[in-house]
Structure 1
Amino acid sequence: MSKTKENGSLYTDIQNKIATIAFGHPSSNCFPSELLDRLSKEFISLGNNPEVLIIVLKSEGEKAFCAGASFDELVAISNLEEGALFFSGFANVINAMRTCGKLIIGRVQGKAVGGGVGLVAACDYVLASEHAAIKLSELTIGIGPFVIEPAVSRKIGVAEMAALTMDATDWKSAYWAKEKGLYAKVFDSIHDLDNEVSIFTAKLASYNPAALAEMKKVFWRGTEEWNALLSERTAISGKLVLSEFTKTALLKFKK
């Protein structure tokens, strides 16, 4: 699979009722808006595909899992409409994962930042390598992880979400993430990680499809208002990104 496309790549392979979505981008597997839109639609499509029971979400390469949303697009935002569109990308993906009728297993081989942490949190079960550290650095540029907060807090709790948000310059290790509930298991190598993903998903795919679908509903009970909630969070972020503080903080990143 190639990451040469400017807007990244997204491929899905279906084998034995297991759909594996692999995304990639040359900039540490970040997500331009177009790629986020494609991912949202893919989750919706697979959720409606009777030939799929389990979905695996992974990224390309052996380094970063996901660097979040495209920084180039963030820097280019010039008005509220553009801001809302930019931040709705991860909101739409999280809601698509939430309402997808299939269990989603995250395979996290490397570091996740910002929206990448939100993707991990929106998975139903996550297997990771010991290199899969996480960080929420949004406060350093004058915004915050408002859109992904509900998904992350749901997994690790409000107190740990607060610590992760305020420790905006520090990486939390994969073992920290496991201790807090974001990861289910952590492996010493990518080889061991992939072996477990294969074994675990094959086992899940052998279970009663109706039971799997009902468990998905149970796992996400209480999130029915997230369409409205994440829309509100999108508006907050879209406004903050236009603040003088953030404009000044982003100046050093402009090309």
Structure 2
Amino acid sequence: MDQPYVTLENKNGIGFVEFFHPNKNAMPTSILSDLASTIKKADADETIKVLVLQSGGDRTFCAGASFNELVAIEDSETGERFFSGFANVINTMRRCSKLIIGRVQGKAVGGGVGLAAATDYCLASKYASIKLSELSIGIGPFVIEPAVSRKMGKTIMAQMTLNAEAFYSADFAEKNGLYAEVFETKKELDDAVFTLAENLSKYNPEALSEMKRVIWEGTDNWDSLLSERAKISGRLVLSGFTKNTLKRFKK
């Protein structure tokens, strides 16, 4: 059985951060923690000029929260701590001084959409449909909402959230600002990601860093905002509705 991992590979100044979990790249606390620390490590490495965030496997970019771990939550503090993992990753990406390119090769659900939205420039394959399913299990996309709304707008975020059981196509995600471009094949996606990253890695690093600050202007309150959102999710995950729903998904 494949083991979960988070890796960092420096290819000529391009830092490839990759995460994987055998359960459709779901994100337990351990992976979220490793992902945040790996991004911080890449940010501190002066030989890395630009980052690429990607996941292993072909079919799913990220299935969001680990249902097995959610089922096991028995108190609000544990719930808040779990959802704070997503908050920490998003804020780490936001605070990173280097631009982050997203490579989304397959479906993104819940927190996976949040990760894509927290990148600075996101490229995807035609298979990279998106879904905000949280309401259907009794919680909501509270932690990732600021990142999704910032990229796609509050109206589209609300549409996807309320139509919680529907997948939206990669073309829809491109049209509404989540993806910059959608590609027919994985090879075309990889070629485009590498070309963009290679070009950026040759630009003035000071200009790139200043541009990163401009891109994220107005988000200084996200440390406290996402923390408050994690408390909401941590409370709701204890509801009877959510507990009963999650048990049906447990593997």
Alpha-carbon distance, 1:70 to partner? 1.0
For the 8 Å contact 2:125–2:182, the answer to whether it is kept is: yes
Residues 122-178 of structure 1: CA deviation (Å, up to 9, x unaligned): 000001000000001000111000000000000000000000101100000000000
Q: Whole-Å Cα distance in 1 between the matches of residues 248 and 64 of structure 2?
A: 19
Partner of 1:199: 195
The farther-off stretch of 240-249 and 159-168 is 240-249
Partner of 1:40: 36
Q: Which residue identity is paired with 2:110?
A: G
Q: SS at 1:65's partner residue?
A: strand
Q: Which residue identity is paired with 1:212?
A: L
Partner of 1:215: 211
Q: Does 1:174 align with 2:152?
A: no
Partner of 1:111: 107
Q: Whole-Å Cα distance in 1 between the matches of residues 181 and 245 of structure 2?
A: 37
Partner of 1:12: 8
Q: Does 1:151 align with 2:151?
A: no
Q: Whole-Å Cα distance in 2 between the matches of residues 253 and 175 of structure 1?
A: 29
Alpha-carbon distance, 1:254 to partner? 4.0
Alpha-carbon distance, 1:16 to partner? 1.4
Partner of 2:237: 241
TM-score (norm 2): 0.98
The farther-off stretch of 75-84 and 145-154 is 75-84
Q: Which residue identity is paired with 1:78?
A: E
Alpha-carbon distance, 1:250 to partner? 2.2
Alpha-carbon distance, 1:200 to partner? 1.0
Q: Whole-Å Cα distance in 2 between the matches of residues 254 and 196 of structure 1?
A: 37
Q: SS at 1:107's partner residue?
A: strand
Residue ranges of structure 2 left out of the alignment (5+ in a row): none
Q: SS at 1:56's partner residue?
A: strand
Q: Which residue identity is paired with 1:98?
A: R
Percent of matched pairs sharing the same residue: 55
Aligned length: 251
Q: SS at 1:169's partner residue?
A: coil
Q: Does 1:129 align with 2:129?
A: no
Q: SS at 2:62's partner residue?
A: coil
For the 8 Å contact 2:6–2:38, the answer to whether it is kept is: no
Q: Whole-Å Cα distance in 1 between the matches of residues 13 and 229 of structure 2?
A: 35
Residues 1:162 and 1:20: Cα distance change in structure 2 (over 3 Å): same
Partner of 2:247: 251
Residue ranges of structure 1 left out of the alignment (5+ in a row): none
Q: Which residue identity is paired with 2:197?
A: T
